[in-house]
A and B are shown apart, each in its own frame.
Chain A
Amino acid sequence: MTDREDGGSDDLILDLAVLETVVRVVIDGDDQLRRRIAQAWHLCVTDTAEMTFPQERTVHVSARGLTAEELTRAIMRLTQDVTLAAVRSQAGRYLMLHAGGLCHPVTGAAIVYVAPGGTGKTTLTRTFGPGLAYISDETIAIGPDGTMAQYLKPLSIRQPDNPAVKDEVPPGSLGLRPPSVQPWVAGVIVLQRDPALADGIEVREVGVLDAIATLSPEISSLASLDRPLRTCADMIEAAGGLRIVRYAEATQLESLVRTVVGSVR
């Protein structure tokens, strides 16, 4: 899959509204594959004629001659390609964190949970998402005023018997719903899962400079922003600081999640 301009005449098209841009998916395959991708990305599929955002990037997925597992892997890679395309498209416009986010369905108060891949974002999203509104489980884009662009991607969930392969699961099938109000950053935490942690959770607040240093490996295209470090500091201060949270199981974070999304501006 590459970032070519156009597909061939037999290719199928799917436009996805992600991070306030549109990524066009060109599908070299049959309509069954298109339906499978559309189902996984059901919260992002947009009608070309009714696009709210500009279509800026194109990614390709090919299913010709693939086995069932190869096809699953291709759809998994498609998610990575769409993420990369969206992030590249918005470089310099948003502060983009490798993070998940959920918000209060009425107020939009959002908790942003930052973590490297495979360390808890999707589990937290599945645990607390139902009943809140889903913003992303992969990339959180924050504007200068603290509001957030949605990235309502499928959840990438490892297959129990083959952890190297992830299924792209439609958010709706997990009880996740998109925000009906504009989300804003009410709190930012860094997830540090430690299954050996005996009981409770450990929460450590860090100063703004340490917060920037902690978050920086999980920020995309930082140098593309205007005054990048000041932008990070402003976001962290507006969110009430950064907390590093050690925990064993996602359910232990319930009180923290409820407190943050219960914030008011």
Chain B
Amino acid sequence: MSGPLVVRTTRVLDELVTDDGAVLLVSIADGHRVLRVSPLAQAVRELARDGMALTDIEREVALRFGRPPTSSVEEAMAVVVESLVEQGVVTVAEG
């Protein structure tokens, strides 16, 4: 029986956070790269610093940012989290 999906923020070289979101300095194979992160995506990273169930993150983000106009919270969060995983700044695993 599998547990809930848990999102966990990965360590970056540096980050700068403002009301407009964040920039992250991350290591890549041939050096480093700066990533621009939206306020919503940065909220996910902050909530997941110590690991948090995806369903809890969805609930917290909906409280902070409201519900998306054209999709469900779950659908919108799936897009954001998938993007963060692709960029290597969060991981998702069964808890």
Q: Is the interface of A mostly helix, strand, loop or mixed?
A: helix
Given known pairs A222-B32, A222-B34, the reply for A209 and B21 (CB within 8 Å) is yes
Contact (Cβ within 8 A) B32 A229: no
Convert A214-236 into 0s and 1s, putting 1 for each residue whose CB lies closer than 8 angstroms to a CB of B: 00100000110001111011000
Contact A223 B36 (CB under 8 A): no
Q: Which of B32-53 contact A (CB under 8 A)?
A: 32-36
Cβ contact within 8 Å between B13 and A228: yes
Alpha-carbon distance A232/B36, docked complex (angstroms): 14
The answer for the CA separation of A216 and B22 in the assembled complex, in Å, is 14
A209 close to B18 (CB less than 8 A): yes
Q: Which residues from chain B contact A222 at a C-beta distance below 8 Å?
A: 25, 32, 34
Check if B86 is an interface residue, CB within 8 A of chain A.
no
**Assuming A209-B20, A229-B23, A229-B34, what are 14 further A-B pairs, CB within 8 angstroms?**
A207-B20, A209-B23, A209-B36, A212-B16, A216-B33, A222-B25, A222-B32, A223-B13, A223-B14, A223-B27, A228-B13, A230-B14, A230-B16, A232-B16
In the assembled complex, A47 has its CB within 8 A of some CB on chain B: no
Bound CA span A208–B23, Å: 10
B75 interface contact, C-beta 8 A: no
Q: Is A254 an interface residue (CB 8 A)?
A: no
Interface residue ranges, B against A (CB under 8 Å): 13-16, 18, 20-23, 25, 27, 31-36
* A194 at interface, CB cutoff 8 A: no
- Name the interface size band of chain A: 10 to 19
Closest CB-CB distance, B34 to chain A, in whole Å? 4
Chain B residues with Cβ below 8 Å from A227 are 14
Within 8 Å CB of A223, what residues of B?
Answer: 13-14, 25, 27, 31-32
Whether A208 pairs with B36 at a CB distance below 8 angstroms is: no
Q: Which residues of A contact B22 (CB under 8 A)?
A: 209
Report 27 cross-chain contacts, Cβ distance below 8 Å, ordered by A residue: A208-B20, A209-B16, A209-B18, A209-B21, A209-B22, A210-B36, A212-B16, A213-B34, A213-B35, A213-B36, A216-B23, A216-B34, A222-B25, A222-B34, A223-B25, A223-B31, A223-B32, A227-B14, A228-B13, A228-B14, A229-B14, A229-B15, A229-B16, A229-B25, A230-B16, A232-B16, A233-B16
CA–CA, A213 to B15, complex, Å? 12
Q: How far is the CB of A248 from chain B (nearest CB, A)?
A: 28
Instruction: Determine the chain B residues whose CB is within 8 A of the CB of A208 once the complex forms.
Output: 18, 20
- B36 → chain A, closest Cβ, in Å? 4
- List A contacts of B25 (CB < 8 A): 222-223, 228-229
The answer to whether B14 touches A212, judged by C-beta atoms less than 8 angstroms apart, is no
